[in-house]
Amino acid sequence: MKPRLNVVLVASAGLLLAAASICVQRAGAVKTNCFPELKQNEDPGRERCEQRKCEYEGQQSDNSPSCLWTRSGYIVSSVAENTNTQYSAVVTRQQDYNGPFPGSRDLDELRFSVKAISDNGLRITISDLGGVRYQVPKEALNIPEPGPTNPDATVYRWEANTSSSLLDVYQKTHPDQAIMSLLKTGFVFSDQFIQLSLGLDCQNIVGFGEHNHERLVHDRRYKRWSIFTRDAVRGISTAPIHPYFVCTDAGKHMSVLLKNSNAIEVELTPDGIVYRVLGGILDFYVFMASSPESLAQTYSAAIGHPLMPPYWSLGFQLCRWGYRNITEVQNVIARNRAIGLPYDAQYGDIDYMQNTMDFTIDATNYPGLSSMVDDLHSHGQKYFVILDPAISSDEEMHKQVLPSQRYEPYHDGLARGVYVKNLDDTVHEGEVWPGRTVFPDYTLSATQAWWERWVSDFYYNQSIRVDGLWIDMNEPASFTYEPHKPQNFCPNNTWNYPPYIPTSFIGDRFYEKTICMETKHNWGRHYDVHSLYGHSMGMQSYQTLRNLFPEKRPIVFSRSTFVGSGRYAQHWLGDNHSRWPDLHWSIITMLEFNLFGFPYNGADICGFVYDATREMCIRWTQLGAFYPFSRNHNIKEADGVRTRDQDPASWDAEAQKIMKDALFFRYKYLPYLYTLFHYAHTNGATVVRSLAHEFPNDTAAVRIDEQFLWGSAMLISPVLSPAKLSIQAYLPPEDGWYDAYTGEEVQETGFVMLDAPLEHINVHIRKGFILPWQTPSTTTVSSRQNGLGLLVAAKQLPSSNLKATGSLFWDDGESFETYTAKKFILHEFELSTDETSGNHVLVIRTPFNGYKDPNSLKFENITILGFDTSKDWSVSVNSEQHSGIRVNPNRKTLILDSLSLPLGQSHSITFAVRSAGTAVASVIAVAICALLSTAVTGNNRWSLAILN
């Protein structure tokens, strides 16, 4: 069946507008809840409200708080420095002004400073005068402050200490209204409760994470989110910590990071954001740019560009928890190879371990793991193992289950003093999969050597030649303080029982499902560094792999991440459910993590918890074929019942074929995807983008979060709910689109209805772009040896001129830092039209060639969409006449095949109109040729069956 386009009468356009009209009034009037400890819509009543010296409004229908904090009590008392680029002042608390929680001491004097850190960024800090309060250590995150190129070069300006704000920040392009204000009203700075309201003159907020956001653009009806690492199936707050948001509105593009690793709560209100922070200092970084993409690149440069993933890691990957023995794993590997699935990597979850202990192998159920990994390698496939941070400390158990009766990694760690300690310097214990455990302190440099020793032992002495690490449970998770174990409790102190616990947290106890908050790490008290645990483990695991195979790119997946972890680790989107809404939510989180600096991310395909249905798993595999990180992963059991297998080969033949088609399409365009990663790694570009990100001036695109783009050029419109044979999609009219499978030009843009039979995921190519591709195979090792091609999606300009551009980054796909070592090829492609002759010219330029591919790769086929096929074209390739042309007049498609243009060299192809005499005959000839070829190509969808 072929996709068909229909225009749809969009009743829901009105809905969209209505949703968008939750309007910002003006910066300066954020309604700040005086009783944040109560749940939303819980009314403290007038009396309690007035006791707290707040204003009682009564219950409101718009979700706004019934009792408002309307006072301000910190005064800018003396200004030490005040220039265009630097401001510094002391802020003093008035005698009668106290925070809402008496258990938390209010600070009397604060240092308030503002600094221009670059043309696009400023830093605002509010801290204690003495500077002794906890701050995120520089080793964890060091944001450069080069300063502006000159004092007037900043795209922003500020005004400090106005009547209502500590600071107003303006984007210079919009001089009339501050885009952001640090409000005096509601400001509280006490030991364990800091509150600040940020007024925003800016509507569309995207970001904060990781949470399960049901829409990309935030609901601002007093919605609260907590930001504190937590072992939880995707919900209110999970492992990664990104106190960062982007706000865009009518040409304004701003983003704000709060650099703070304490527990944070944000409340999104129609007028701005209320921050409630449980420790540390306020350390804001504000960035502004002229477009969402340049803003993303500005932020990426500040926190550090993400890693370049190895080429093979863009291939499809398989994982499940609950492979009961190695035979099961081998069967899964064998059956997925047998169906010819594109499949690059296999994972081992905790099943392979002896009693789930790191660096051990279950001798009974996993004999021969080493040979299994070697077998994967000999098939061009890779292997990841999971490692958890917690180390078993149960010596009785060690005696029973380990051949040596001693768990050396544990004893070695004790000897080196690497574990997190209690206040009395004893080692802190908790409980994870192997029972009683201790927790390595990855913020301590000695831990690096210890961790590396045991990873290396596993690799060399136990001969498991892993290609990457998967670090899990690093929130850190501990089962000692689970909700159903109220008999276990951490000491009664102010760290475990802080005066305020955000109501948006999961659970009642602050330390629920983790370790006690007073415990000691090198970087500080657990209370302060809790959310840095996964980050520090990621840093040390990255360094471990750097040392283990220095020539290769390290790849580490971490469940818990912090701002800047993308320099060390990758992230999968945590534990999800095999439920339809999770398909939609995965797109939202994938887009957010591109903004957080993790372009290589993706959700568990077909869902983690519960059984996926056939239809869901098909639709999810089609969607997951476009996750930058494409992995099918499944839980062992749910509600006590073993979950069904969900790897592609476990389904029927028709399902397998549909899944393979989607993945072959992915593999075909991996050169394009890989090139996007090159720009992410070197410029901080996003790989996956929302429509609003790519088309910021298209107001209809603002709230679309069911579709996404690969780079600027490829639009993916998946089916996200059951029993759908068509979907409503939005195709921005700005440039126009082609169907990626048929090459057909899309006739209607805007909101359209797209056919979406079960075997089809809609993909469109934007006019004006050139995408490199390669004939796919079942692994990237073999696809990298195949011929290359170009898909040229021409944009037709007035006067029949054509235009399209693109690029290709190519290297060996796995060496460390080929870019800085200059061991790569960069091609730029351009289609243009010579004004005088009317000839079209396609050039392949080579701005850089520092790599020789061993496979003598060539561009073999070039397809141009949007070509005027009514004329008879003579084609010359590098000045020689070329005869292998086919055209499809109906689809305005021209194909050059049997080309042989070596990669790494520059080429030029000219298309000139032949004199009228020969035209007719040759068009007829190629049309016949086209018909013949249809029969041959059949319905191989990934082969770009342009001539079907």
Ligand X SMILES: *[C@@H]1O[C@H](CO)[C@@H](O)[C@H](O)[C@H]1NC(C)=O
Name the site residues for ligand X (rule: CB under 6 A).
76, 78-79, 161, 163, 251, 291, 324-325, 327-328, 492, 497, 696-697, 775, 787, 789, 860-861, 897
For residue 183, which of 205, 162, 204, 157 has the smallest C-alpha distance?
Answer: 162
Phi, psi values for residue 585, rounded to 5°: -65, -30
The angle at the Cα of 881, spanning 803 to 745, to the nearest 5 degrees, equals: 30
Sequence-distant (6+) residues with CB within 8 A of 361 are: 352, 353, 354, 369, 462, 464
Q: Which ranges constitute the DSSP H helices of 549-652? A: 580-595, 614-624
| 3-state DSSP percent of the chain in helix, strand and coil, to 5 | 25, 30, 50
Question: CB of residue 946 vs ligand X: minimum separation in angstroms?
Answer: 10
Cβ closer to ligand X: 367 or 435?
367
Nearer to ligand X, 325 or 874 (CB): 325
- Closer residue to ligand X in complex, CB, 94/682: 94
> Which residues are bridge partners to 190 per DSSP?
106, 193
Q: Which single residue brings its beta carbon nearest to ligand X?
A: 787
Asked if 563 contacts 255 with a C-beta cutoff of 8 angstroms, the reply is no
- Of 159 and 834, the one with the shorter C-beta distance to ligand X is 159
Least distance CB 221 / ligand X (angstroms): 29
* Distance of alpha carbon 875 from alpha carbon 864, whole angstroms: 13
The residue (of 60 and 878) whose beta carbon lies closer to ligand X is: 878
Beta partners for residue 156, in sequence order: 171
| DSSP element (H, E) containing 912 | strand 907-913
The tokens describing 809, both together, are 């980054």
CB of 205 to ligand X, least distance (A): 20
Which C-beta is closer to ligand X: that of 621 or that of 690?
690
State in angstroms the smallest separation of the CB of 492 from ligand X: 4
Nearer to ligand X, 325 or 370 (CB): 325
Instruction: Please state the closest distance from residue 328 (CB atom) to ligand X, in A.
Output: 5
Closest CA to 392 of 425, 348, 349, 360: 360
Report CA-CA distances (Å) from 314 to 89, 208, 343, 631. 50, 26, 10, 10
What is the C-alpha to C-alpha distance for residues 316 and 573, in angstroms, rounded to an integer? 16
As given in the structure block, the two tokens for residue 195 are 């509150």
Give the shortest CB-414-to-ligand X separation in angstroms: 31
| Type of residue found at 328 | E
- For residue 686, the minimal CB distance to ligand X (Å) is 14
Q: Report the nearest approach of ligand X to the CB of residue 861 (Å).
A: 4
Residues 6+ apart with CB under 8 A from 72: 97, 183, 184, 185, 186, 187
**DSSP per residue over 765-828, as a string?**
EETTEEEEEE---SSHHHHTTSPEEEEEEPEEPGGG-EEEEEEEEES-SSBTTTTTTT--EEEE
For residue 561, the minimal CB distance to ligand X (Å) is 30
Output the smallest distance, CB 480 to ligand X, in A: 16
Q: Which is nearer to ligand X, 497 or 580 (CB)?
A: 497
Q: Would you list the DSSP string of 688-710?
A: EE-HHHH-TT-GGGTT--S-EEE
**Residue closer to ligand X, measured from CB, 519 or 613:** 519
Q: Which is nearer to ligand X, 121 or 696 (CB)?
A: 696
269 secondary structure, DSSP code: E
- For residue 400, the minimal CB distance to ligand X (Å) is 21
CB closer to ligand X out of 63 and 683: 683
